[in-house]
Amino acid sequence: MAVAILGDMQSSRLSRWAPGYRELPAPAGTGEAVVCMWIGVTPPGTGGSTTDVLPDGCTDLIWQQRHGVFFAGPDTGPAPALTPPDTALVGVRFRPGAGGPALGIPLAELRDQRVDVAGLVPWLARNLPPDLEPEETFARMTQISRQLATDAPPDRLVRHATVLLAAGQTSVTDLARTVAVSERQLLRRFDAAVGYGPKTLHRVMRFRRALTLMSADGQHLDLAVLANRAGYADQAHMTREVTKMAGLPPAALARRWAAAA
């Protein structure tokens, strides 16, 4: 039995590093701060891989084989990411309101940027060098995510405000009053913990709802219905917003999203 279990574990580790992108559960005890761990592997002998990274309100700590570790700040538009062939990436994705405290950096400074950590958080660079084996990197990233979530937990007020916005239990206009702080203080804390203000986060959340609906409905979309279900004022409003966020109008994005899914 022990031999069988060991064999299953070894097989699981090997499949973990097969080419492709996969998300894994957040490490135990980090659910308040971490959405997931993730792995991306590009196959050898190709021109590499270009991925359209779209806004999601999150911040990622990413290790890239032969490059090292960097931050992917919160995006407000499309951010194409080119990964060389035969390369592994390991990431930790922090929830809105958790990335700033965990990394110890006001996220507004990292908005729409990819920044090496060596000059910002040197101990992370020391612990995640470019030549580390991917499996060891995954183990270290798991432990680091636990450490960051414990030592520097999310801004609870911002997390609460984010949950209220996501659930539609308040509007952006009423949010400061709902969580009992001034609008200036709310914006300051959002800038530090999320990377931008509640209004932008609300737009990103609505955009992600549209993407979820696109995934569910495939290419058989009524754009007017989609706009209504996602929370846009009308189809024209959705077209403007989706084009800003994704670099493509909704119909073209839906086709690409369905093909990728």
pLDDT average, residue stretch 46-74 = 94
Q: Is the pTM of this model over 0.75?
A: yes
Tokens read off for 223: 């754009």
| Residue 103 to residue 62: CA distance in whole angstroms | 12
pLDDT-based confidence at residue 194 (cuts at 50, 70, 90): very high
CB 146 within 8 A of CB 122: no
216 vs 189: CA distance, rounded Å: 34
pLDDT band at residue 10, thresholds of 50, 70 and 90?
Answer: low
pLDDT in tens, 114-138: 999 998 999 999 999 999 999 999 9
CATH class of 156-260: mainly alpha
Strand residue runs (E) in the chain = 20-25, 34-42, 49-53, 59-64, 68-72, 79-83, 87-94, 114-116
**What is the residue extent of each domain of the chain?**
13-151, 156-260
Q: Which residue has the tokens 């700040």?
A: 73
pLDDT reported for residue 261? 61
